[in-house]
Structure 1
Amino acid sequence: MEVRWLEDFIALARTRHFSRAAEERHVTQPTFSRRIKLLEEEMGTSLVNRQTLPLSLTPAGEEFLGLCEQVSQRLRDTRERLARLAEAQANRLRLAAPQSLLGHFLSEWLDGYHGEPPLEPYLRATGWLVDDYFQALARGECDLALCYWPRHDELPAVDRQGCQYRLVGHERLVPLSVPDGEGRPRFRLGTGPREALPLIAFHPRGLMRAAIDAHLTRLGEAPGFRVLNESIQSGNIKELIGLGYGLGWLPERLVRPALEHGELVLAGDARWQVPLEIRLYRHPAPRHSGLEALWQSLPTRVDTDDVP
């Protein structure tokens, strides 16, 4: 049974005339009559008394008409609700961000945003590498991308697709270890020549890994590491560090509670900390009409005092 047959039957019951109902439904009379016949066959009984003038409905037809009207009204209501949902969804700006920014920066940042259009985190992006964000902006998969960025802009070749950015915050990567029995780091940087330190690392093609490597090169005293695991997700790295497998760098906002409770400790002094910017990127040819107004409302400068 097709839904349009129900609308056909309602039109026939209203006009009591095949040709007028067919005209109302924008089909030929033979086509309309055939659809009513198919509806009767589907229901297994006659719904229309064709012997009267004007035609009338059989008792079964009268009963069926009430059901048709209920179903038709529910379908109209559902279409309207879905249209409103689609409109609301289309009005939202999709913002892509890594997992650590979603949980420990974005919610705080959004608390200060009360404008239109509304922003919606794009959760498919939590496992992306840096190139993925710019490619998604270029093809319109997301409208904005919130990214960590090395403060000294030391990155391998990244095609930013001509994207523009605003600086919206600061962060730093801090080296971490579980404490030993005396509360000192089990694995510690800057202790001079020794066996390679076990490292829980970021993905080798990720921005965090590039920022850490560049910072260690700039220090000129990079220790030897034995990489045990590589991951895109900060949460995975934090878990393995917490289990005592090795040291690793993580955003300070992410690990602040663990540091306060003594679950993790810093594995080195301040010189091992990697400064980062938090940047909000957009494509120069946005597909959302509300993006430009939002962009112009953003501050053009963020003080470094907001480093955690």
Structure 2
Amino acid sequence: MLDIRWLEDLVVLAETRNFTKASEIRNVTQSGFSRRIQSLEHWAGTPLIDRRRNPFELTDAGYRVLEAASETLNRLNAARRAIREDLDERNRCIRFAAPHVLSVTFFPRWIPAIQNRLGGTRLAIVSDNLPGCASAFEDGSVDFVVCLVDPSGAIFRTGGRPLPMEGCRYVTIGRERLIPLSAALENGAPLHPLDVGPRRSASYLAYSRECSLGWAVEGLIAARSDLPRLNNLYENSLADGLRTMALSGLGVAWLPLTTTHNDILRSRLVRAGSPDLDIDLEIRIYRPSHKLPSRAENLWTQLDAAAPSLILTPPEFAALAEPAAAAARM
């Protein structure tokens, strides 16, 4: 088996052209150094040093091995430097994976709060759908997953396979609410009401199958036999895309309160159904079972110790949800 030290020995020997100097540089006895060169020659199957000459010369085979050794060592050293730089960067930065909607609605409010606790620690957020976040969590490319979880657990059940976060420790750090919203008629009533009754129908704006918010909505719809027939008119993986279509009057969509509170306040969007069709969601941060880099562990320790006082409840819940709901029902 080839020993990388033999390649390093050959490079130093080719530079010094002297066994004594080379052995000193390599911090090994001259006899030990000579044995390692001989081991390399045995591996190559031919002499690499022409010892009949004074000073000695490399053989043709020696030059070929030297060229390969230099290239291999350069590439290995470059890889080692890159790995160490990546590890240093990882230790300096706490990395999160989160669905797109949380990158827009939650993190801009939450990051300043935790930066006050962590000082100058850098934070990085990878935005993806929940399966993509789960994959990043599973392969260790992020420290934490921050995601939305509904009370019924439909978000964890509907993904097609168990998510790696299930069973892992978590802390609840925020709240969100999905509300069925529609554009309004001139009298303020919803353009696409969710009036109960099997003979009624409504145009429905749905989340794409890969979107975890849609899993929560579909779980509610499946459990409510009193809802009208929903005609799936349009799909989008992003809540903002569905909001735009709802504002255009194309249908009803379950949309996050934090992204629509201004629309509700200005009556551009109104409730399409009663408050019992709302879906309350927890925002949770999940950690893996293995030990994290020191700064990530420090964050987890603080979150775990301070819960539930660190739960971020959007002011829209108190300031807008009930007044807007009352106005929409008038």
TM-score when normalising by structure 1: 0.66
Structure 1, residues 176-218: CA drift from partner, whole Å, max 9, x if none? 1111122211001124344431111112243212212222333
Corresponding position of 2:146:
146
Q: 2:125 aligns with which of 122, 126, 135?
A: 122
Corresponding position of 1:160:
164
Corresponding position of 1:225:
230
Q: Shift in Å at residue 122 of structure 1?
A: 2.2
Question: For structure 1, which segment, 146-155 or 181-190, has the greater mean C-alpha deviation from structure 2 after superposition?
Answer: 146-155
Secondary structure at 2:241 match in 1: helix
| Structure 1 residues 1-308: aligned runs within 5 Å | 27-28=15-16, 87=88, 90-113=91-114, 114-116=116-118, 118-123=121-126, 125-126=127-128, 128=129, 130-154=130-154, 155-156=156-157, 157-161=161-165, 162-298=167-303, 299-301=306-308, 306=313, 308=317
Counting matched residue pairs gives 232
Cα distance, 1:231–1:239 mapped onto 2, change above 3 Å: same
- Residue 176 of structure 2 aligns with an amino acid whose one-letter code is E
Q: Shift in Å at residue 256 of structure 1?
A: 0.7
Distance 1:295 1:86 in 2: 19
More contact order relative to length (CA 8 Å, sep ≥ 6)? 1
Cα distance, 1:122–1:303 mapped onto 2, change above 3 Å: closer
Secondary structure at 1:112 match in 2: helix
Distance 2:226 2:200 in 1: 15
- Residue 110 of structure 1 aligns with an amino acid whose one-letter code is I
Q: Shift in Å at residue 138 of structure 1?
A: 1.7
Distance 1:184 1:268 in 2: 10
Aligned partners of 1:175 and 1:267 also within 8 Å: yes
Aligned partners of 2:93 and 2:124 also within 8 Å: no
Aligned partners of 1:143 and 1:286 also within 8 Å: no
Aligned partners of 1:149 and 1:278 also within 8 Å: yes
Q: CA RMSD in A?
A: 3.1
Cα distance, 1:184–1:111 mapped onto 2, change above 3 Å: same
- Residue 301 of structure 1 aligns with an amino acid whose one-letter code is P
Cα distance, 1:170–1:198 mapped onto 2, change above 3 Å: same
Distance 2:300 2:172 in 1: 11
Q: Shift in Å at residue 242 of structure 1?
A: 1.2
Aligned partners of 1:97 and 1:146 also within 8 Å: yes
Distance 2:255 2:124 in 1: 22
Secondary structure at 1:277 match in 2: strand
Aligned partners of 1:95 and 1:119 also within 8 Å: no
Structure 1, residues 88-117: CA drift from partner, whole Å, max 9, x if none? 564111112222211221111122112337
Q: Shift in Å at residue 173 of structure 1?
A: 0.4
Structure 1, residues 226-271: CA drift from partner, whole Å, max 9, x if none? 1122222111111111111111001101111111122211111201
Aligned partners of 1:200 and 1:227 also within 8 Å: yes
Aligned partners of 1:171 and 1:251 also within 8 Å: yes
Secondary structure at 2:123 match in 1: strand
Question: For structure 1, which segment, 245-254 or 189-198, has the greater mean C-alpha deviation from structure 2 after superposition?
Answer: 189-198
Unmatched runs of 5 consecutive residues or more in structure 2: 1-11, 18-83, 318-330
